[in-house]
Structure 1
Amino acid sequence: MSKRIDKSWTVFVSIENVEHDRCVDMFSRSDGSYGFEEFRRDIEDAGQWTPVQYYSGVSYASATDALDTAERCVSWLVQVLTERPDLRTRVGLG
């Protein structure tokens, strides 16, 4: 789990790009809010996921609201969700 994902939060889906070097974690918090964070994985980081933005600081009322914002902010995410619509369904269940 990343440095920016609090251990009390529940990551319910992690969406990777086709190169498997970027991902977006969608998570819920104990207060009922939702959020997301984008990560990268590079050789110089020994293959560990490293946060690249500060999206996790924002709270959303629903998983759908968090996903809508993630799609606007993370350029590669729309293509992945188009190719894998099952991931969108998993976000809605979060």
Structure 2
Amino acid sequence: MKVVLSLEDGDGLRCVDILEIGDGIFAFKEYRKDVEDPSRWFLVNDYSKMTVSTRDQAVAAASKTVPWLKMGPDGSAKS
């Protein structure tokens, strides 16, 4: 499993990693940083069972699933 893309919010406190979990199989996980310990990422939601065939499909699935990505990484509404 390897990270092929990381999407962070505007504050750098939330992140979605797009993962290649096998040959042509992609998924994603959501993380957050704790303000008391900003040096580490903590797993919030593991969506790795929601697999798709491409990186772009994984980004689209994450954008539909993760609330702050629905709004856009900077918190603004997506058009």
TM-score interval, smaller chain: 0.7 to 0.9
- Say which SS state the counterpart of residue 45 (structure 2) adopts: coil
> 2:11 is matched with which residue?
19
Q: Secondary structure at the match of 2:48?
A: helix
Query: Which structure has more helix as a fraction of its residues?
Result: 1
- Report runs of 4+ in structure 1 exceeding 4 Å deviation: none
Q: Distance in 2 between matches of 1:21 and 1:39?
A: 8
1:10-89 map, 5 Å: 10-44=2-36, 46-47=37-38, 48-78=40-70, 79-80=72-73
Gaps of 5+ in 2: none
3-state SS of 1:56 partner:
coil
Q: Name the % identity.
A: 32
For structure 1, the residue ranges without an aligned partner over 5 or more in a row are 1-8, 84-94
Question: Which structure has the highest strand share of the two?
Answer: 2
For normalisation by structure 1, the TM-score amounts to 0.66
CA RMSD in angstroms, aligned pairs only? 2.0
